[in-house]
Structure 1
Amino acid sequence: MHIYMYISYFTAMGGASFSQPWRSMPWTNEENLNFIKSYKPQNNDVENLRILLHGPVGAGKSSFINSVESVLLGRVTGRVMTDTISGCSFTKKYKAFKIHKDPESFYPFIFNDTMGFEQRNGMNVEDIKLALMGHVTEGYKPIPGVQLKESDQEYNSCPSLDDRVHALVCVMPADLVSLISDEVVKKMRDVRLAASDMGIPQLAILTKVDEACPEVKNNIKNVYESNYLKEKVDKFSLMLGIPQNCIFLVKNYESELQTNEDINGPILIALRQMIVYGEDFINNL
């Protein structure tokens, strides 16, 4: 009985692992990094592929943008402001972030950061839907319960193809998949259905995998061997309807002072798929 209780506790804490990875993972980053560095939208009407991040408060949306920038610049950055103790969204405005490729140019993709979803406050679902269509301008400060209107200064009445969102990414902490409220799930599901109607591809990243699983905390290379994290991917897939091959596990840069190739790997794979899916969407329009 005591052994059974120990095994159950160990499994609940993410200790159990598969004998073989449940997803193949290349741990050499050169190919993915070269792909991202050489990427350029094929459609001449699109200067930048636009990736919109959404999800609950504290999911790690801003941290993921910082992590991508850290990987591409080769040093840990913190340009996007984050907060570790607030119970409400630290991001207050609809912001767009570009990453320097060299001193005089940027990578041809943009991340749009949004206020997090909360049960009763946070980002308005209808504002996210408008953002998907390109109607929300940068700097817009959402007011919970108040939808952006056509008469508002921040409303873009004639969005170009470049203004539209080309890939939608839901961000969720791996350790909170089973604890997220029904209200927040409904909001994320509403956004997903709206994006589906527009034909916008959708992906998801589960963050904080090291906090969710001790084996991964010890070694990030165990991320796709963890039974616990596989269960979280399964549950999240059923929760939102996002296929499992569109859900990625990442650890954001948070306590590290230098970049690490093992942390970079999952981030680069997720970013590459965002670009690939977004590029397919642009070319299909």
Structure 2
Amino acid sequence: MGGRHSEPSPPPPAPAPSLELNAPWRPVNWSEKEEILKELKVLHPNVEPLRILMFGPVGAGKSCFINSVQRALLGRNVICALENTTGTGESFTTSIKTHKMKKSGGGHYPFVFSDIMGLEIDGEGIQTEDINKVLEGRVLDGYKFNPRGPISENDPKYNHYPKPSDKIHCLVSILPADAISRMDYSVIAKMKAVRKRASELSIPQVIVLTKVDNACQVVNRDLRKVYHSRKIKEKVEDSSHKLGIPLNNIYPVKSYHAEITKDTNVDVIILMALRDIVNFASDHAEDVYESKKE
């Protein structure tokens, strides 16, 4: 009787791709903190203050990022925007609030952050029309957003005659890197609708991708690996695909959370994002100024 032929062994499984890329997909000068601070301190835009609007889903870390920016600018722990840590799924910020950024030694930088209510699912949270009115400079500080309807022109917080400094000069979408794949479609649809109105107004737009340390274990161990991380690169590409913002306008960052002392690496990636955001806002304000002169 003939022997049975043994089946060939299956090939070994292909090795999983490395979590780290061989080269960074974006170069970083980790020693340029003081250089960026110097650039920001001598900024003199055509419009003051430059107004930067932070918006995004509930829990994305808008207020935390604003506090981290102020902390990077001052070099010490601060609280300028109140934060919520309970994770209720509802926005902790309910009204529009302008945050001035202090300079070390006194005075303020010529840019401010406008913080608004977070986007919620199923029609809850801030109305898209309200965000559009904020873009146009028609909503005054302190207005409490109503999830059931947009601001009325009869409201005392409605600005009928917005000045150039009341309008938004850069729109910043705050997205959480650790949850971007689970974002609800209704929230993405709202963000796209706001982006469309911002584009009609020629307002520059960027994404700040927060919580990169939660999204990637490599980055959690060493923040300087943020641009070597395959996973963070994928998150950046995913956010670009979802909102249609180019890759070079997307900034992965780690905000301050439990730390009470400064971390130069955290400061550098925050200040890298801030420098571009402020420059984009300044360029937009200059373009508007020049077009009115013509």
Superposition deviation, residue 102 in structure 1: 4.7
Paired residue for 2:3?
A: none
Superposition deviation, residue 155 in structure 1: 0.3
Paired residue for 1:37?
A: 41
Q: C-alpha deviations, 1:130-183, integer Å up to 9, x for none?
A: 000100000010010211011111100000001000000000000111100100
Superposition deviation, residue 200 in structure 1: 0.2
Q: Decide which of 123, 147, 151 is 1:148's aligned counterpart.
A: 151
| Residue identity matched to 1:223 | V
For normalisation by structure 1, the TM-score amounts to 0.93
Contact 1:70 1:77 in 2 (8 A): yes
Q: Does 1:114 align with 2:116?
A: yes
Please show how residues 1-285 of structure 1 align to structure 2 within 5 Å. Answer: 16-28=19-31, 29-41=33-45, 43=46, 46-85=47-86, 86-102=88-104, 104-119=106-121, 120-285=123-288
Q: Secondary structure, in 3 states, of the residue corresponding to 1:142?
A: coil
For normalisation by structure 2, the TM-score amounts to 0.90
Contact 1:209 1:251 in 2 (8 A): yes
CA distance in 1, matches of 2:105, 2:223: 32
Percent of paired sites with the same residue: 42
Superposition deviation, residue 4 in structure 1: 5.5
Q: Which has the higher Rg, Structure 1 or Structure 2?
A: 2
Superposition deviation, residue 249 in structure 1: 0.6
Q: Secondary structure, in 3 states, of the residue corresponding to 1:99?
A: strand
CA RMSD after TM alignment:
1.6
| Residue identity matched to 1:129 | N
CA distance in 2, matches of 1:243, 1:94: 28
CA distance in 2, matches of 1:171, 1:189: 13
Superposition deviation, residue 79 in structure 1: 2.3
Q: C-alpha deviations, 1:21-63, integer Å up to 9, x for none?
A: 001111111221111121121x2xx221100000000001000
CA distance in 2, matches of 1:82, 1:252: 12
| Contiguous gaps of at least 5 residues in structure 2 | 1-9, 289-294
CA distance in 2, matches of 1:145, 1:89: 15
CA distance in 1, matches of 2:94, 2:216: 31
| Residue identity matched to 2:76 | R
CA distance in 2, matches of 1:69, 1:39: 16
CA distance in 1, matches of 2:273, 2:66: 12
Superposition deviation, residue 99 in structure 1: 1.6
Contact 1:76 1:253 in 2 (8 A): no
CA distance in 2, matches of 1:243, 1:37: 28
CA distance in 2, matches of 1:204, 1:53: 10
| Contiguous gaps of at least 5 residues in structure 1 | none
CA distance in 2, matches of 1:145, 1:232: 33
Gap change, CA 1:140 and 1:20, over 3 Å in 2: same
Count how many residue pairs are aligned between Structure 1 and Structure 2: 275
Q: Which runs of 4+ in 1 moved over 3 A?
A: none
Q: Secondary structure, in 3 states, of the residue corresponding to 1:178?
A: helix
